[in-house]
């Protein structure tokens, strides 16, 4: 299963990061090492992101790796949608999003997340 994929949504690059279904927090770390937005997409406030963390545990090491990735990607991200964020993870992600100043929301379904990302892209482009 591909854990990092790229496509397009409403004329913007869509970066998908699938961190779902890990049994140990450390299993996410190798994928986070490759979660920095590559140079060809590094335009200010241009990339849409969708991350799924359903049924995956997190620890301090994963939290720090996420913080570093979010800080690196921040200038390039127009909007970020999150799936599978519940309980303590919701508290952690809410704090990380405030620290990084991202335009982000937590969703129950992928369809809701994609609809919101599309609306954010259209609003940014003035086509909403």
Predicted pLDDT at 123: 95
Q: Taking a C-beta distance cutoff of 8 angstroms, is the pair 31, 5 a contact?
A: no
pLDDT of residue 87: 79
From the list 109, 52, 113, 41, the residue with the least C-alpha distance to 77 is: 41
Give mean pLDDT, residues 51-60.
Answer: 90
Q: Residue 48: its pLDDT value, please?
A: 98
Question: What is the total count of domains within the chain?
Answer: 1
CATH number of the domain encompassing residue 82: 3.30.750
Higher pLDDT, 58 or 47: 47
Cβ proximity of 31 and 3 under 8 Å: yes
- Which residues make beta-bridge pairs with 52? 18, 83
Is pLDDT at 3 greater than 90 in this prediction? yes
- Say if residue 92's pLDDT is above 90: no
> What is the extent of the structural domain holding 111?
4-125
Q: Tens digits of per-residue pLDDT, 24-37? A: 999 999 999 999 99
pLDDT of residue 1: 60
CB-based burial, 59-90: b 16+ in 10 Å, e otherwise = eeebbebbeebbeebeebbbbbbbbbbeeebe
Instruction: Give residue 101's pLDDT band: very low, low, confident or very high (50, 70, 90).
Output: low
Residue 96 has pLDDT above 90, yes or no: no
């Amino acid at each position: 299963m591909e854990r990092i994929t790229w496509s397009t949504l409403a004329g913007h690059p869509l970066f998908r990061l699938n961190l779902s279904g890990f049994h140990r927090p450390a299993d996410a770390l190798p994928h986070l090492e490759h979660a920095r937005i590559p140079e060809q997409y590094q335009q200010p406030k241009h990339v849409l992101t969708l991350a799924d963390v359903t049924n995956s545990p997190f620890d301090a090491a994963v939290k720090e790796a996420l913080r570093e990735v979010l800080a690196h990607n921040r200038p390039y991200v127009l909007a970020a949608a999150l799936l599978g964020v519940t309980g303590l993870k919701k508290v952690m992600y809410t704090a990380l999003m405030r620290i990084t100043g991202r335009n982000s929301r937590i969703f129950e379904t992928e369809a809701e997340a994609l609809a919101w990302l599309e609306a954010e892209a259209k609003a940014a482009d003035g086509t909403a």
